[in-house]
Copies of this chain bind each other. A is one copy, B any other.
Amino acid sequence: MSQAFRLKQSIEDAVMAGEFRPGDRLDEASLAERFGVSRTPIREALLQLGAEGFIDVRPRRGAIVSVPSPTRLFEMFETMAEIESACGRLAARRLTPENDAAMEAAHRACELDVRQGDSEQYYADNRNFHEAIYRASRNSFLADQAFALHKRLSAYRRIQLRARNRLLQSLQEHAGILEAIRAGDEQLAASRLHSHVLVQGERFSDMVLGLTQDRSAPAGTRSGAGR
């Protein structure tokens, strides 16, 4: 497969792994050297990531890892809540045994993780659970949108789950969601999913908003005390 595709994935991974922090510049020359290719495929990967909203590509000024404002971030979580609840609504309407089984399996895995207090593994299995719901909507386009947004938010979501009690609460919410979907209660499934997702956004906002009123001077950037 083409290099640009592999590079796109690698750069995305590096960003998600936190190797590049929000605000960091992604300059073409260093990336080219790092991956042992010329600037051309790097540019192509960056432009694609930019089109997907993963990074910010400013004409003539290079690409940076996007720095959503607290407001923007909350909007993203709110949108995720709307999309997920739509998935839940459709899942409740259309549930098949296969999809039910997939959700069940993912939920069981999450249970185990909580019992073992393995928050890192919970993070992964939580993702599987949510993706099982997306698929259960039996609308692959909607599911794709949900996947994409989930991925964009995962960096922020991960921080959330570090809190121990949140882990247990999350699991209990999953149980309630699953129950509603199985009961075919579209309304309930939608509203439970909505708050399950939104609470994360709210918690995160609280956390971030505590620090920055509006003028974010994101800590950690080598901002110019210089002058």
Contact = CB atoms under 8 A, between A and B. Distances in A.
Number of identical monomers bound together in the oligomeric complex: 2
A159 interface: no
Interface stretch (A27-35, A104-112, A135-143): A135-143
Contact of A82 (B47, B52, B83): B83
A60 interface: yes
Interface string A58-74: 01100000000000100
A59 B142 contact: no
Contacts of A72: 140-141
Contact of A141 (B47, B76, B86): B76
A51 interface: yes
A75 B142 contact: yes
Nearest to A87: B82
A43 interface: yes
Contacts of A24: none
A142 B47 CA distance: 22
Contacts of A89: 82
B75 A140 contact: yes
A205 interface: no
A131 interface: no
A44 interface: yes
Nearest to A1: B59
A2 B58 CA distance: 10
Nearest to A49: B51
A97 to B, nearest CB: 20
B44 A78 contact: no
A89 to B, nearest CB: 8
Contacts of A160: none
B47 A139 contact: no
Interface of A: 1-2, 4-5, 40, 43-44, 47-52, 59-60, 72, 75-76, 78-79, 82-83, 86, 89-90, 139-142, 145
Sorted from nearest, which 3 A-B pairs have the closest CB atoms?
A51-B51, A82-B86, A75-B141
